[in-house]
Amino acid sequence: MRVVVMRTNLKEGLGAVERAGGENLNLPVLKYANLEALDGKIKLTATNLELAITYYLSGKTIEKGKVNVPIATFASLIGNLQSERINLEKRGGQLEVKTDNYEAFTQTLPAEDFPIIPKVKNEQDFLEIEAGLFKDALAQVLVATQFSDLRPELNSLLLDFSLDALRLVGTDSFRLAEKTLGAAQFNSKYTQSFRVLIPLRTAQELMRILREDGQLRIYHDQNQILFKTDQWEIISRLSEGNFPEYSTIVPKKFTAEAVVKREELMNALKLAGIFSSQTSEVKIKAAQGARALEIYSASRDVGENRYLLPAKIQSEFGEVGFNWRYLFDGLKVLKLEEVWLGVNEEENKPSLIRSPKEASYFYILMPILKT
């Protein structure tokens, strides 16, 4: 195998696949990426046996072939090189990395040892969607998730396709976010609806690697899902289990509804966060005859503070405590000037954040229990 490749291309490719490589004590080859020289392009693959990322980068192939390179070593080596043109050549069990004034030999593993990347069975049916649009949708629901050993069934995103709409849902049982994309926003070759669970790790990798431009295609079969663009592919297992039926917990009635400036509220929360105690609790209530939101936090060790934020509130409501980070997360991903808040004062009833104008996205969160 022998190729000439531009440093920036190679670096970008390595960056894309790097995190798929796994720490697997049983199988050392998983710490390696498979580098394959094809006609006019170079293919890089890494996997942890749950998901695999394949990235195509342009380069000049002089002699075809493939080799496994250690991801960590190779990535820091390429990252620190100064020259633009890099020659890669396989020599025996080693890979020679060569520029005008630098030369290195890294250990490799035989290419046959690399896992075979599975394929999805159904390649006819797929969804096609603008990459940037999907990236934003992912960001909006991923924000409501976190890894939990307690509830493994929540360590995934729900992708719910119902012919005329595509829904993404994420929850960590304290908050839940749902994003709906309408039929105009994607193309579908499917004739049947489906619901699948994307593992969180896969969704995070996807989010990291997605760019704003270009089209993304989504394929799936019984237990795998494939995300594909011109430049890369991510194939992953699907999560098993049942996503909770969440429709009944989405609140429909609220104690009070308010419209506030998003950035101002975020700023208020950041300030209040400084004084919140270990539970990250900030308290919110209507003030000044329902013309302002009062954001209050106190901690015995630090002190207390109070922030008055002008808002359009439709009725008075009493104090509700939230984890300010959870509330902040919901605001952070709504890229709007104003947000609509539906507050539920009662304990054990969630509150809701969405756009004042439409409901394609909502984020619900539970209060902190009163003691």
- Residues 232 to 291: which contact another protein by CB under 8 A? 237, 240-241, 244-246, 248-249, 279, 281
Q: Which residues contact 265 (CB under 8 A, 6 or more apart)?
A: 293, 295, 309, 331, 339
Residue 347 binds another protein, judged by CB under 8 A? yes
368 binds another protein, rule: CB under 8 A: yes
Tell me whether residue 102 or residue 147 sits nearer to another protein (CB atom): 147
Rounded to the nearest whole angstrom, what is the least distance from the CB of residue 123 to another protein in the complex? Answer: 15
Taking the complex as a whole, the smallest distance from the CB of residue 29 to another protein amounts, in Å, to 9
The DSSP 8-state label assigned to residue 136 in this structure reads: H
**Residues from 133 through 162 that contact another protein (CB under 8 A):** 148-150, 152-154
Distance CA 349, CA 334 (A): 22
Q: Which helix (H) or strand (E) holds 270?
A: helix 262-275
CB 181 within 8 A of CB 197: no
**184, exposed or middle or buried, with CB in 10 Å at 0-12, 13-18, 19+?**
exposed
User: DSSP characters for 304-345?
Assistant: EEEEEEE-EESS----EEEEHHHHHHHHHT--SSEEEEEE--
Spatial strand order of the sheet with 2-6 comes to: 60-63, 2-6, 85-91, 94-99, 102-107
- Give the position of tokens 């072939």: 65
Show contacts with another protein in window 9-38 (CB under 8 A). Answer: 24, 26-28
Q: Is 366 in the site for another protein (CB under 8 A)?
A: yes
CB atoms within 10 A of CB 58: 12
Kindly tell me which of 140 and 323 has the beta carbon lying closer to another protein: 323
Q: Contact between 72 and another protein (CB under 8 A)? A: no
175 scored as a contact of another protein (CB under 8 A): yes
Helix/strand/coil for 197? strand
Look at the block and give the residue holding tokens 């300010």: 324
Q: Which is nearer to another protein, 146 or 267 (CB)?
A: 146
Among residues 12, 60, 73, 115, the one that binds another protein under rule CB under 8 A: 115
Tell the smallest beta-carbon distance from residue 108 to another protein (Å): 17
Among residues 99 and 148, whose Cβ is nearest to another protein? Answer: 148
| Least distance to another protein, CB of residue 24, Å | 7
Nearest partner of 154 among 194, 198, 205, 195, judged by Cα? 198
DSSP string, 19-36: TTS---SS-GGGGEEEEE
CB of 245 to another protein, least distance (A): 6
List 185, 223, 267, 355, residue binding another protein (CB under 8 A): 223
The number of C-alpha atoms within 13 Å of 82 and in the hemisphere containing its C-beta is 3
Query: 61 vs 344, which CB is nearer to another protein?
Result: 344
CB atoms within 10 A of CB 188: 17
- Residue 110 binds another protein (CB under 8 A): no
Whether residue 324 contacts residue 305, with contact meaning beta carbons closer than 8 Å, is answered with no
Member of 12, 257, 264, 345 binding another protein (CB under 8 A)? 345
Q: Single out the residue of 34, 140, 171, 202 in contact with another protein (rule: CB under 8 A).
A: 171
Q: Closer to another protein by CB, 47 or 68: give it.
A: 47
Q: Which of 44, 282, 350, 354 binds another protein (CB under 8 A)?
A: 350
Stretch that binds another protein, among 56-64, 125-133, 183-191, 217-225 (CB under 8 A): 217-225
40 binds another protein (CB under 8 A): no
β partners of residue 163:
none
Which amino acid is residue 51, in one-letter code?
A: L
Residues in contact with another protein by CB under 8 A are 24, 26-28, 47, 49-50, 52, 115-118, 148-150, 152-154, 171, 173-176, 222-224, 237, 240-241, 244-246, 248-249, 279, 281, 318, 323, 345-348, 350, 364, 366-371
